[in-house]
Amino acid sequence: MRILFYSPVDLLHGGGCERWHCDITNSLVKQYGHEVEIVTGNLGEKRWNENYLSTQLSDISYTRIQYPTLFGAILPTFSAFSILLKKFRNADIVHFICGFIGQDLLVAVLKFITQKKVVVGHHAPIFHSSRLHNLYMQHVSRYVFRYFDAHQTLNSSDREFLETRWGIKNVYFIPSGVRTEKFLRSKRKNHSGLMFISVGRYAWQKGIDLQLRAIEMFNRRMVKNSAQFNFVGSGELGKIIDDYTKRHKNIINLRYMKYEVMPKLYAQNDIFFLCSREEPFGLVLVEAWASGLPVLATRTAGPIDMLVNGKNGWFIPQITSKSISDALYKIYLKHTRDANFTYKMRERCRETGRIFSIDTTARKMHQTFFAFTA
């Protein structure tokens, strides 16, 4: 089967969705022999280089469309449309990442012309901080979505919303996944203190501002604590993290790290710390669990489906700095009573990590694709 994956974001952006595209396509080819191609736009900060991208794609065919952009939005040209039209015609089925204004309309036109089956991937929050985005989703996308053949959500909350609130049919909850093997093989390192790690974009959506204020509150409450907070990533809030590192010695900005060193880095920490305002899934959570780390996370859509309170992590009751700080305090008290309490949770955490292998995601998507082309 010829499967086309389309996203407006350049694979060189190197985020979770871009890595997922590389991993899911390779898994589909390896397990089922599908003929797979990826086509993207050119949006996003470039974190990868072409050589590294080539190693991640392996033999997967990849085409980048150079769209003109205006205020961060891409403008389809006749040339870009012609390239996509040709790609659609050559495919049996198309999977595209939604969440960008106008892209659903563009894909709907291409579907109308080619009469190809289209699966919509909901990898981003349906609603977020942008008023324009939310208005577009509420008054345009909710109706355009009905024209497509199927929808993939990464969490059960989005599936329920699309089905019950917007009346969308053929919505499938297919969680994302990662290549868990390297993380499952990592061995936790002995160290003193309580080490927290946060990995991802330094952005408002990820609650970085709330997290930093919470750590500051915790430090004032526990003046001589032995906790350390390691941040890994990049983004517009990086300068704020740097400002906090100057005031708090236990806040460390490791910045962007290569994916290949992440298993070793997780192994040097005790708890994965996530304070997102919105989190549709969280590939980094799976990486942490597969590495044997419990997760301290805000109660958002992705963690709700995966985290079992007290077994493989803990929920932060409210998405506020105070609630985050209180949760830190409770976890730290556990550490003072038993310095090995997170290590004792490692097997339950690894069990969770095993569930969300990229090959499992590929198997479910394979079954979904065949169901719609029968």
Successive 10-residue mean pLDDT values, the chain, 374 residues: 96 95 97 96 93 96 92 84 97 94 95 97 92 95 97 97 97 96 90 94 96 98 96 96 98 95 96 97 97 98 96 97 98 94 95 97 91 58
Instruction: State whether 173 and 185 are in the same domain.
Output: no
Q: Cα separation of 129 and 300, whole Å?
A: 15
Residue 61 CA from chain centroid, whole number: 23
Instruction: State whether 361 and 349 are in the same domain.
Output: no
Instruction: State whether 210 and 346 are in the same domain.
Output: yes
Instruction: State whether 226 and 95 are in the same domain.
Output: no
Asked if residues 360 and 181 have their Cβ atoms less than 8 Å apart, the reply is: no
At how many degrees (to 10) do helices 16-32 and 358-373 cross? 70
Asked if residues 95 and 4 have their Cβ atoms less than 8 Å apart, the reply is: yes
57: how many CB neighbours lie within 10 A of its CB? 16
Q: Cα separation of 37 and 86, whole Å?
A: 12
**Considering the entire predicted model, what is its pTM?**
0.93
Instruction: State whether 186 and 305 are in the same domain.
Output: yes
Question: What ranges make up the beta strands (E) of the chain?
Answer: 2-9, 35-43, 61-64, 69-70, 73-74, 93-97, 117-122, 150-153, 171-173, 194-199, 227-232, 251-253, 271-274, 295-298, 313-316
Would you say the C-alpha torsion 331, 197, 192, 290 has a positive or negative sign?
Answer: positive
Q: What is the pLDDT of residue 75?
A: 87
Instruction: State whether 102 and 85 are in the same domain.
Output: yes
Q: What is the pLDDT of residue 372?
A: 63
Q: What is the pLDDT of residue 73?
A: 75
Instruction: State whether 333 and 248 are in the same domain.
Output: yes
Instruction: State whether 198 and 328 are in the same domain.
Output: yes
Instruction: State whether 167 and 259 are in the same domain.
Output: no
Q: What is the pLDDT of residue 373?
A: 58
Tokens of 17: 């969705």
Q: DSSP class of residue 33?
A: -
Would you say the C-alpha torsion 257, 260, 265, 271 has a positive or negative sign?
Answer: positive
Instruction: State whether 160 and 219 are in the same domain.
Output: no
Residue 159 CA from chain centroid, whole number: 17
From the list 44, 26, 43, the residue with the least C-alpha distance to 35 is 26
Asked if residues 273 and 283 have their Cβ atoms less than 8 Å apart, the reply is: no
Q: Cα separation of 303 and 318, whole Å?
A: 14
Q: In Å, what is the CA distance from 208 to each residue of 130, 164, 231, 274, 344?
A: 17, 32, 10, 9, 28
If one counts the domains in the chain, the total is: 2
Cα angle value 213/332/305 (rounded, 5°):
75
Q: Which amino acid is at 209?
A: D
From the list 291, 303, 316, 284, the residue with the least C-alpha distance to 215 is 316
Instruction: State whether 273 and 328 are in the same domain.
Output: yes
Could you tell me the CATH number of the domain that includes residue 80? 3.40.50.2000
> In which domain, by residue range, is 24 found?
2-177+357-373
Q: Cα separation of 214 and 320, whole Å?
A: 8
Tokens of 29: 């080819």
Question: What ranges make up the beta strands (E) of 261-336?
Answer: 271-274, 295-298, 313-316
Q: What Rg, from alpha-carbon coordinates, does the chain have?
A: 21
Instruction: State whether 91 and 25 are in the same domain.
Output: yes
